[in-house]
């Protein structure tokens, strides 16, 4: 699941989409009111999504990570939080938040943790509606202020459902219970169907996520995921209390 879909699943709606600006160029917005281009500092670009839920709505982290430099109540985007994730090589800027920032630099967060509250704060003190500005960058410290404010990558190409470990293991698994089929390996994944007890599935990847073991399978021509049982620290997959039986398991692919 990409991070924008994750926020939508948490009740946010998109109010500014860089995929749909009139320029036809990703992020080239040129938002102009009364002759003033609010995107002029970045050459007309707004390489971010704007979303809204309600004023002071808790804003969840879209991925695991560490709160990093750029996080401050009076930052480049008003109340600003920056989360970095070295594993998936991204950092995420949350902007226009309430000045009451609930996280501090150095804190580790998990996907879903509240990192701020939707608001209308900004660097220049201009009037704006309450909303969340969320911007994605490649992992790494950006010293130049203009580069920090103006750079951004397409979040629709980022998968943030992970956070736990993953293994490139293959095998077959027979269900002993009805199990939901989801479009991503995690409880936030959208349910697409249900498999009945007694069905045998082939899987080509194993995940630990949201306290469960997840199997990647093919179902109705699409890549899908099922929870195979509860994950318990220190207990291997094959020795866990699963919701079915492992019929075969090839571990030669190793840990991803």
C-alpha 244/C-alpha 45 separation (Å) is: 51
**173 and 56 in a common domain:** no
Question: What is the rounded CA–CA span in Å between residue 58 and residue 66?
Answer: 18
Any domain includes 149: yes
Q: Where are the alpha helices (DSSP H) in 18-160?
A: 145-150
Domain match, 27 and 127 both: yes
Of 157, 185, 208, which closes a domain?
157
Of 57, 96, 92, nearest to 74 by C-alpha is 96
Residue-number span of the structural domain to which 186 is assigned: 166-250
Q: Are 120 and 173 in a shared domain?
A: no
175 and 206 housed in the same domain? yes
Gap between the Cα atoms of 36 and 107, Å rounded: 39
pTM over 0.75: no
Mean pLDDT score, 68-89: 93
d(CA 240, CA 3): 30
For the segment 120-138, the average pLDDT, to the nearest whole number, is 93
- Same structural domain for residues 151 and 182? no
Beta carbons of 128 and 96 less than 8 angstroms apart: yes
Q: Which of 221, 224, 159 is nearest to 193 (CA)?
A: 224
Residues 33, 61: one domain? yes
pLDDT(77) > 60: yes
Residue-wise pLDDT tens digits, 185-243:
777 677 899 999 999 999 999 988 878 999 999 999 888 999 999 988 888 898 899 99
Token representation of residue 220: 């109705």
Element (H, E) at 109: strand 108-109
Tell me whether residue 205 is in a domain. Answer: yes
Give the residues across from 32 on adjacent strands.
Answer: 37
215 part of a folded domain: yes
């Amino acid at each position: 699941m990409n991070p924008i879909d994750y926020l939508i699943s948490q009740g946010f709606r998109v109010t500014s989409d860089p995929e749909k600006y009139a320029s036809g160029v990703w992020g080239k917005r040129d938002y102009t009111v009364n002759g003033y281009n609010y995107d002029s500092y970045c050459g007309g670009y707004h390489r971010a999504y704007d979303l809204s839920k309600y004023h002071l709505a808790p804003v969840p982290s879209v991925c695991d990570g560490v709160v990093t430099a750029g996080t401050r109540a009076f930052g480049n985007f008003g109340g600003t939080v920056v989360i970095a994730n070295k594993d998936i090589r991204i950092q995420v800027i949350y902007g226009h938040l309430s000045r009451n920032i609930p996280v501090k630099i150095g804190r580790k967060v998990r996907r879903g943790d509240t990192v701020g509250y939707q608001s209308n704060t900004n660097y220049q003190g201009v009037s704006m509606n309450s909303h969340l500005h969320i911007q994605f960058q490649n992992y790494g410290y950006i010293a130049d202020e203009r580069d920090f404010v103006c750079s951004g990558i397409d979040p629709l190409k980022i998968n943030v459902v992970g956070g736990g470990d993953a293994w490139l293991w293959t095998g077959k698994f027979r269900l002993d219970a009805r199990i939901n089929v989801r479009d991503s390996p995690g409880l936030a994944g959208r349910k697409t169907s249900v498999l009945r007890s007694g069905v045998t599935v082939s899987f080509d990847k194993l995940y630990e996520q949201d306290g469960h073991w997840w199997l990647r399978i093919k179902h109705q021509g699409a890549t899908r995921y099922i929870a195979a049982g509860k994950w318990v620290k220190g207990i291997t997959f094959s020795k866990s209390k699963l919701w079915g039986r492992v019929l075969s398991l090839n571990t030669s692919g190793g840990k991803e």
